[in-house]
Structure formats: structure tokens, C-alpha cells
Amino acid sequence: MSDFEVLQTHRSFGGELKFCRHMSRTCNGPMRFSIYLPPAAASPPPVVWWLSGLTCTEENFMAKAGAQAHAARLGLAIIAPDTSPRDTGITGEDDDWDFGSGAGFYVDATAKPWSAHYRMESWLTQELPALIGAGFPVDLTREGISGHSMGGHGALITALRHPGRYRSVSAFSPICSPTRCPWGQKALPGYLGADEASWNRHDACRLMADAPAGLEILVDQGLADDFLAEQLKPELLREACDAAGVSLTLRQHEGYDHSYYFIASFMRDHLEWHRERLGL
């Protein structure tokens, strides 16, 4: 018997899209994820993890990004985890759109009451990959990671905090330095407590000085993004990468906003970036 429940299965571009739920020991409750498996090939496909942004679930990316057509052609599996635990009983969990439900920030909370359930980094990097590896025909020796906004932050810090694990890294409109923007200045103290050093350990720009050799990052950013100046700050990422000698391809696009219309416009480029680095 599987350790997860398949809630829905959809045929898509010759492959299969599945929405699943499992009882997470790490998060102390049910957690959800979606997975796209490309058409059957001679060997298991490599994996691109997609981390979504604030308010999103495991469904948004699969419904809006137009990724399945490209993943089917390129032979990539895509996994999209939910963005937080849900219905934990924590008082105030659903009060704010940018903290609590739908806003896990991909960190392991250490501050109560969040620490009992909001352990997103450990779920994403330990428990969920083990579940996926046991339940689906994918190659977890070849992993890439990407994401949008809060999920772009998540992709960057996950790759930096687990050097050598992810062969490819990209992001759309990432929160580049959460210690220096309102979203992060709310979330990091809320989940991690008052120790500022712990906040820095979850800030891509602060972590970049210790980036693994050979790291390459692709970032796309819309210049009509309402969150660009106050929340996202790609100039800080450029400065950090330049100082650390990290290869950053930062593409900025006139007229594009923060939406999935923007993401869908450049999804093909990102998946091809991952494919090249995942050995296909």
C-alpha cells in the first residue's frame, strides 16, 4: 500500500498529472503535492522541483504555467509541493495572506506555535523526496529546482543550503533578500524568532558568499511587476552574485508583471535550462 493517496489523475501531453496527499511526520499532518510524469521513456526522468508563491497551492503551477507540454517534450518530471501545512489548528493561521496558510516560506519554523507543523525545508528536502522516490519512476540523482516569488526565494535558499544536491537552479521574480523586504521581515521573525542570524541563513543574498563552485542561476523578472522595488530587489541578487563570483543570468522584461502570464511566457526557456544541466 502506498504512503500517499492519489486524489486526481489527468492525462496531459501524453504523460500523467497526479494530485496527491500524504500524512507527513515532518509537518505533523496532511500535506499535498502534484507531480507531472512525462511520456514513458527508456530510463526514469530527472526531476524539476517547482516552488510556488504566496497564497498558492500545489495546483496553481500545473493549471497556469503551461509547463506540461514542454516537460513532455524534454522528458522532465515536475513536482509542485503545496506552499504550507493547512488546517493545523494554530490560532491565526488563516488570518494573513502573507503569513501562515499558503505562506510557509520554505523554512523550518523554530518559533512556537509554528514549529509544531511548519517545517517546510525538511519536508521538501527529506520526507517528500523519499516518498516520491519510493512511489514514482523518477531519477532523484538528477534534480533541479525553480520557483516564483516566495517560491523563487525558496528555490534559491534550498539550493544554497544544500550545496551539490541540485544540478540546476532558476527562479521567476524571486524575493531575493527577505531580510530587506516587508514580506520577509514579517515571515522570518514569525517563523524563526528574534535571532537575526537565523534570518540571514534563509536569505539568498546573505548565503551567496558560500555558494558552491560552479553554481549557475537563471532569473527572469518583469519590469512591470508591482512588487519589484519594495519586495523583490533583483539588484541585491546581482550584487551578491557578482561579489561571490556566481554566474547569474538575470533577464529583465519590459511590460511583464508578477502573474502566471509572465511565467508561462518564459517557462520553455527555464525547462530547457534545467534539461541541459540535468544531463538529457
Name the residue range of residue 218's domain: 4-277
Task: Supply the CATH number for residue 108's domain.
Answer: 3.40.50.1820
In whole numbers, what is the pLDDT of the chain averaged over residues?
97
Q: How far apart are the first and last CA of the chain?
A: 32
Task: Classify the C-alpha dihedral 134-138-144-146 as positive or negative.
Answer: negative
148 as an active site residue: the answer is no
**Catalytic, out of 22, 70, 117, 258:** 258
Exposure b/e, 131-169, CB count within 10 A at least 16 = b: bbeebbebebebbbbbbbbbbbbbbbbbbbbeeeebbbb
The sign of the dihedral angle between the CA atoms of 60, 64, 65, 71 is positive
What span, in angstroms and rounded, lies between the C-alpha atoms of 77 and 68? 9
**225 catalytic residue (yes or no):** yes
Q: Which of 24, 84, 149, 177 is catalytic?
A: 149
- Residues with Cβ within 8 Å of residue 74, at least 6 apart in sequence: 38, 271, 272, 275, 280
Q: What is the pLDDT of residues 211-256, one digit of tens each?
A: 999 999 999 999 999 999 999 999 999 999 999 999 999 999 999 9
Q: How many domains does the chain have?
A: 1
pLDDT exceeds cutoff 70 at 63:
yes
202 counts as catalytic: no
Can you tell me the distance from the alpha carbon of 259 to that of 247, in angstroms, rounded to the nearest whole number?
26
Instruction: Give the model confidence (pLDDT) of 195-211 as tens digits.
Output: 999 999 999 999 999 99
- Give strand pairing partners of 177: none
User: Which pTM was predicted?
Assistant: 0.97
Of the candidates 117, 148, 225, 274, the residue annotated as catalytic is 225
The closest of 69, 70, 35, 65 to 49, measured between CA atoms, is 35
